[in-house]
Amino acid sequence: MAEKLNTEAIPLAFLRDLPKTDLHVHLDGSLRITTLIDLAKEYGVKLPSYTEEGLRELVFKDRYESLGDYLHGFSYLCAVMQSEVALERAGYEFAQDNQAEGVRYLEVRFAPQLHVHEHMNAIMVLKAVNRGLKKAGDEFNSRKEVVSGAEPPFGYGIIVSAMRKFTAGFSEYFANFVSAHRFSPDKRIYREASLQLARAAVIARDEYGLPVVGFDLAGEEAGYPAEDHREAFGFVHKHFMNKTVHAGEAYGPESIFQAVTDLHADRIGHGTYLLDSSAISATSNIDDKEDYVSRLGEFVADRRITLEICLTSNLQTNPDMQSIDQHSFGRLRKNRVSTTICTDNRTVSNTTVTKELALAVKHFGVDRRDLKSIVIYGFKRSFYPGSYLEKRKYVRQVIDYYDKIEAKHFGEAKARK
């Protein structure tokens, strides 16, 4: 996808300069391809190609045949991220790539259990990634523009992802876990794995001081409902940890309902089908589907439960969506549902936050007023690791900087409109 914007009203240079957030982005879907090749050679991981062009053609495409095809690339990315050195490098470069396009606050999510093995536990995984993120953050924040207060600092948080479904082949950890629970029903295994991870997330934050700001549930929705993970989310809820849940990405509104009720979700990952009554399962017991989505939409909107919108990713994984114009983002904005623009996976989807904002402008008529609302709300609805007062101060600094960038591109008078 070329970084090209067909509008004079909001130039691409303005989008690049803006302070931005990315609240929904997977570390193991955002490793640099050059780093993937380096690490694969170092650790003996076989790739279908050892050139960036080859991997773009064979694995990381512009369009995928299915969600399974989309997820195929993760097997290579996860395979090379099985050491503390690799994880630290991944975190460091990930932060640098975000900083380079103006992202000033990000929340990186990943499933530590995919990297756990005999020599590395979940806490070690989290520590390694954090070392890389912190190193890049410290370097950026030592710049004179940040130190002087002329620009807002770079900030980040870690979101720990549990998985709706896994198989023994996913990782050494899961192979051992499945073996240890081989006489348990499948869903019980998933519940136990999520609960163990929830405990690790709280320990990482409270005992080790790591910036774990949220708990997530990812993976296939159909057949693996959110309600199966109530214990894990109840645990983090009782420990004052924020929650975000992948829901309404490849399944209907019922999945979102479970996320906001059973799992106390503060934000929803994707939420594409929130207002789509036709996406309700034929096997559901919902009689009046239009009334159901209307009430659910009101519930989500009234509580300002923010949807983490990932335009390119949704187009790539949904075979029924032929173009971005068919995405529900326009309808969601029309109904004033709280939304923020995210990448999902920078490498697998070959995108950036700047590109995603450009798509929103081009395909959904987002004007400068809407754009500012979307961007600033990303900061406001973030799981910022500081106190409430610190967050308010940071958001104010970001707003002032946003106004400064707007004045630079459009002039003082136009910026104030």
Residue 9 covered by a domain: no
Residue 376 covered by a domain: yes
Residue 301 covered by a domain: yes
The whole domain housing 205 covers 22-409
Task: Determine which one of 249, 254, 356, 406 is catalytic.
Answer: 249
Residue 143 covered by a domain: yes
How many helices (H) and strands (E) in the chain? Answer: 18, 8
Residue 416 covered by a domain: no
Encode pLDDT of 58-110 as tens digits: 999 888 887 778 888 898 999 999 999 999 999 999 999 999 999 999 999 99
The single residue listed with the structure tokens 């990303």 is 378
Q: Please choose, from the candidates 221, 229, 223, the residue with its C-alpha nearest in 3D space to the C-alpha of residue 247.
A: 221
- 227 counts as catalytic: no
| CA distance linking residue 26 with residue 71, whole number of Å | 12
Residue 404 covered by a domain: yes
Dihedral sign from CA coordinates of 262, 267, 269, 274: positive
Stated as kind and residue range, the H or E segment containing 295 is helix 289-302
Encode pLDDT of 31-66 as tens digits: 999 999 999 999 999 999 999 999 999 999 888 887
CATH code, domain carrying 59: 3.20.20.140
Residue 193 covered by a domain: yes
Stated as kind and residue range, the H or E segment containing 106 is strand 103-110
Within 10 A of 388 (CB to CB), how many other CB atoms are there? 8
Phi-psi region for residue 129, left (φ > 0), alpha (ψ -120 to 50) or beta? alpha
Count of the separate structural domains present in the chain: 1
pLDDT at 169 over 70: no
| CA distance linking residue 247 with residue 251, whole number of Å | 7
What's at 23, amino acid-wise? L
**pTM: predicted TM-score of the whole model, two decimal places:** 0.93
Residue 14 covered by a domain: no
